[in-house]
Copies of this chain bind each other. A is one copy, B any other.
């Protein structure tokens, strides 16, 4: 029987552990993960992974998975289709959190109700990531208060004035009279199909 103990299987074991436990395993735990019976063997493999750049040690000597290895692979585009072997052409690996939420401290999520932004591909039930403390630019989608209700609209700048436009012809464009209350700028939208 050949021990399936190569770098890839070890890396996968570490990623799986980190996904579940949200921390790196101790060397004792890695003995079980790697199916070896000595911590020195763990040290042996860890050193190899560090040389390969898969692992890092931070200033305090704690292990860290390099880059954003705990996301899922971004393999290409739809036309290219599914990855042949799910191995090699994993050009990049991204974490949804890091990709979608640039400023976690000033962001929050809202669930979309209504169809005012259907033309922009934002549908009822979607979640939108809203960044507050950010001034909207022309063409951004903003969360704004209109007639005492919060809705999502395109933010349009024309000359020295601004107005709000829905991405749905059923709604009329709004030229705010006095002040314009902006709750934030939509940074991203997500939709879930499978439960």
A-side interface residues toward B, CB under 8 Å? 16, 19, 21-24, 26, 29, 58, 60, 62, 64-65, 70-83, 86, 90, 94-97, 99-102, 104-105, 107-114, 118, 121-123, 126-132, 134, 140-141, 143, 145, 149-152, 183-194
Contacts and interface: CB of A to CB of B under 8 A. Distances in A.
A127 B74 contact: yes
A118 B121 CA distance: 8
B75 A110 contact: yes
A111 B99 CA distance: 13
Contacts of A185: 193-194
A121 B23 contact: no
A10 to B, nearest CB: 16
7 contacts: A22-B65, A23-B64, A79-B114, A79-B150, A90-B108, A140-B193, A188-B192
- Most interface-central of A79, A134, A184 (chain B CB within 10 A): A79
A74 B188 contact: no
Protomer copies: 2
A76 B192 contact: no
B23 A77 contact: no
A191 B60 CA distance: 37
Given A76-B110, A78-B151, A194 B100 contact: no
A-B interface, 4 closest residue pairs, ranked by CB to CB distance from nearest: A81-B150, A82-B183, A96-B96, A74-B109
Contacts of A79: 113-114, 149-151
